[in-house]
Amino acid sequence: MRPSDVYPEGAEFGFELLVCRWAEAAWPPDGGSDGDAVIVARQLGTKRRRWDTIVVECDPAGLAARARFGDRELDSDLLHVVRHAPAEWAWYRDALPHPGYPWRYVRAAVHRAAGRGVVEKRRRNNRIEIRRVAPYPDWVRRIVAVENKPDLDASAARALSDQLARDVDTALADEVWVATAATGGRVEPALLEDVPVEVGILAFAFDADAPGDAWADATVEWHPSDVTPADAESDEERTTTRLELAERAYGAGWRSYHDTMRPDCRHFELRRYGRALVPHCAAKGGPQTAAECAGSCPDFEPEPPVWRTGGWPVEGGPGKGIQSLLRDRREWVRGREYPETGADADPGEN
């Protein structure tokens, strides 16, 4: 498979998946590491800005402690309860800071949190009391945002520059990169002029047939600057927003594209590319974008019922084989990052 089979001209989706897979296995790009664990996600952000790839650098012990709260994301309402839940029983209104919205919504979040087992609750004297199941850990060290632009020429760099400058200014991420396909030459000076100087540039050469880790070669063309604000520690709003982002990354990972694509289509396949598995459409004879692979696709055909084995109808069902493979893979990667599990070396994406 050639790179253009995965990311044909104009389609960034396949390129993005390869970058995510590389980051999961090889982050950081300069090879140095403080022993951080990483969680990689894609297409996450805030109301105003969505990034292609997010790398959450985590404290390994903190990440292991985070697992106590389950595999699913803690959304902002649950985070409010879990982060402030007391060690000893207390009325939830005494224990939690005022959320800035009516308490009845907090009460609903308390019930939801207890239902998920991430806090304990009981009723005493007609009041709902809560107690934590464990302290919510400080697991996020840094958040890195990556914009994927395989065909980064000067005009693409110009188009991106305002967005990247805003990323640098808002400093929600600690570091910002642009990932592009290597051209074989040095990065053009014009390109560097159009990309803010604080933004790193990473050039990728992928070779599906290269052995082991050589399938992805990432070269740092320009080193980024750390854009973490000086008052980051005391900025509670920034901390909360980043934690919400990190939680979404934790819950979704980068393989959650199966939630929006059609793995229940008989033409949907996963194909090996180097150490990655990428979606492939047998009907089109090539890669499909996430936008194409939707309910509106004219070539969609439901997978045959005989494929729905393995517990149908309880555990089987349309596309369940592919979905569970991708989910299992996400669980394996999380497990690898927890120090005490001692998971084996990465066996490759297959």
To the nearest 10 degrees (0 to 180), the angle between helices 236-252 and 76-84 is 110
In 3-state terms the chain splits into helix, strand, coil percentages (rounded to 5) of: 35, 20, 40
182 three-state secondary structure: coil
147, 172, 177 from 167: Cα distances, Å? 11, 7, 10
* 66-95: contacts with ligand SF4 (CB under 6 A): none
Q: Output the smallest distance, CB 237 to ligand SF4, in A.
A: 40
C-beta separation of 77 from 244 below 8 A: no
Picking from 16, 341, 26, the residue whose alpha carbon sits closest to that of residue 212 is: 26
Q: Output the smallest distance, CB 259 to ligand SF4, in A.
A: 14
C-beta separation of 8 from 286 below 8 A: yes
- Select from 260, 284, 291, 350 the one that contacts ligand SF4 (CB under 6 A): 284
Q: Output the smallest distance, CB 268 to ligand SF4, in A.
A: 4
Q: Output the smallest distance, CB 258 to ligand SF4, in A.
A: 11
Q: Output the smallest distance, CB 311 to ligand SF4, in A.
A: 23
Q: Output the smallest distance, CB 11 to ligand SF4, in A.
A: 12
- Select from 120, 138, 292, 346 the one that contacts ligand SF4 (CB under 6 A): 292
Q: How far apart are CA 69 and CA 318, in angstroms?
A: 29
Instruction: Please report the beta strands in the chain, taking only residues with DSSP state E, as ranges in sequence order.
Output: 37-45, 50-58, 90-91, 119-124, 127-132, 140-148, 175-181, 200-206, 216-222, 268-273, 276-281
- Select from 38, 85, 265, 326 the one that contacts ligand SF4 (CB under 6 A): 265
Take residue 2 and report the two structure tokens written for it: 């050639």
Taken in order 274, 280, 286, 288, the sign of the CA dihedral is negative
Q: How far apart are CA 57 and CA 9, in angstroms?
A: 31
- Piece of the chain touching ligand SF4 by CB under 6 A; list 105-113, 119-127, 284-292, 335-343: 284-292
Q: Output the smallest distance, CB 179 to ligand SF4, in A.
A: 25
Residue 262 is a binding residue for ligand SF4 (CB under 6 A): yes
* 173-192: contacts with ligand SF4 (CB under 6 A): none
Q: Which residues contact 200 (CB under 8 A, 6 or more apart)?
A: 29, 175, 176, 177, 178, 220, 222, 223, 224
Q: Output the smallest distance, CB 134 to ligand SF4, in A.
A: 42
- Piece of the chain touching ligand SF4 by CB under 6 A; list 8-16, 79-87, 293-301, 303-311: 293-301
For residues 300 and 312, which CB has a smaller minimum distance to ligand SF4 in the complex? 300
For residues 23 and 322, which CB has a smaller minimum distance to ligand SF4 in the complex? 322
Q: Output the smallest distance, CB 287 to ligand SF4, in A.
A: 9
Q: How far apart are CA 145 and CA 123, in angstroms?
A: 44
For residues 176 and 293, which CB has a smaller minimum distance to ligand SF4 in the complex? 293
Q: How far apart are CA 246 and CA 57, in angstroms?
A: 9
- Select from 128, 165, 171, 300 the one that contacts ligand SF4 (CB under 6 A): 300
For residues 121 and 267, which CB has a smaller minimum distance to ligand SF4 in the complex? 267
- Select from 37, 41, 270, 281 the one that contacts ligand SF4 (CB under 6 A): 281
- Select from 152, 191, 297, 322 the one that contacts ligand SF4 (CB under 6 A): 297
**Interaction site with ligand SF4 (CB under 6 A):** 262, 265, 267-268, 281, 283-284, 288, 292-293, 297, 299-300
